[in-house]
Amino acid sequence: MLIAKDIGVRLGDNQVLRDLTFTARPGELTAIVGPNGSGKTTLLRALTGDVEFDGAISLSRHDIRTTPPWKLAATRGVLPQSTPMAFPFTVLEVVRLGLIAGIGADRAALPHRALAAVDLAGFEGRFYQELSGGEQQRVQLARVLCQIWEPVVAGEPRWLFLDEPVASLDIGHQLTVMQLAHDYAKAGGGVVAVMHDLNLTAMFADSVALIHNGALVRQDTPAKVFNDHDLSVAYGCALRVNETPVFDSTFLLPHTASTGPGPAHRP
């Protein structure tokens, strides 16, 4: 289990996170949502040990402050929002970096399987810089998958940390990536994803943490977190939660073009 207690992060003079408690369980896809600047990416970076933080974070009972980096790399993979590369690596060379970071360096076929999983089979010889932004993001996801391919090893879950994994993707590949993350969780791994698309979050997440101004508003199931009042206050516009009659899946639509307080802001 991932447990973060009383997390605070200060970047320069800005207190980005304050006294935030967050949990994620293996076997579940946990989404972090909130408006721009709310602290979503900063929380993810704290959970992966990439920024200094106050409080305590443990991953599968291991304190991330004291766990050696090589052990963390064998336990969790991290997909940032973007990964610029200055040198002309091929797609296969980029994906193979995941083998070096993980524990499957002897599995030569794994990069090909990872590329097929993100719908990039046959791209192995292409140069990374020649790809579109969405294709580059999927290459990086394949790299991360190579690092932690098996969701569970020796009874211990492994973890995917994804920062806006579908932001640059078309709708078909958004569904591909979200289904891949969902399947990884259902196979026993843990997935924590920063998300902007609330409809995709409602479709795929088991747990949602809504963040506003660096603090946790609520963490629960999508059906409980996605309510008119909390979402409208957090995002600063009137939102109404609805359900599709056929699929019984929660979805959200902006209820008004106005940015001022609307009916949904009132208790």
- Render pLDDT for 58-96 as a digit per residue (tens, 0 to 9): 999 999 999 998 888 889 999 998 888 888 899 999 999
175: tokens are: 């569904």
**Do 145 and 262 share a domain, yes or no?**
no
**Do 89 and 161 share a domain, yes or no?**
yes
229-251 pLDDT tens trace: 999 999 998 888 887 766 666 76
DSSP-assigned letters across all residues of 188-201 = T-EEEEE-S-HHHH
Q: Which residues of 222-251 are buried (b: 16+ CB within 10 A; e: fewer)?
A: beebbebebbbbbbebbbbbeeeeeeeebe
CB 31 within 8 A of CB 79: no
**Do 97 and 123 share a domain, yes or no?**
yes
Split into its structural domains, the chain has a count of 2
Is 122 inside a domain boundary? yes
pLDDT value at residue 11 = 94
**Do 206 and 240 share a domain, yes or no?**
no
1-39 pLDDT tens trace: 999 999 999 999 999 999 999 999 999 999 999 999 999
All residues at 6 or more sequence positions from 258 whose CB lies less than 8 Å from its CB, including other chains: 237, 238
**Do 160 and 249 share a domain, yes or no?**
no
- Domain at 137, CATH number: 3.40.50.300
**Do 142 and 246 share a domain, yes or no?**
no
Determine whether 60 is exposed, middle or buried from the number of CB atoms within 10 Å of its CB (0-12, 13-18, 19+): middle
Range(s) of the domain holding residue 183: 27-49+69-213
118-137 pLDDT tens trace: 999 999 999 999 999 999 99
pLDDT value at residue 265 = 38
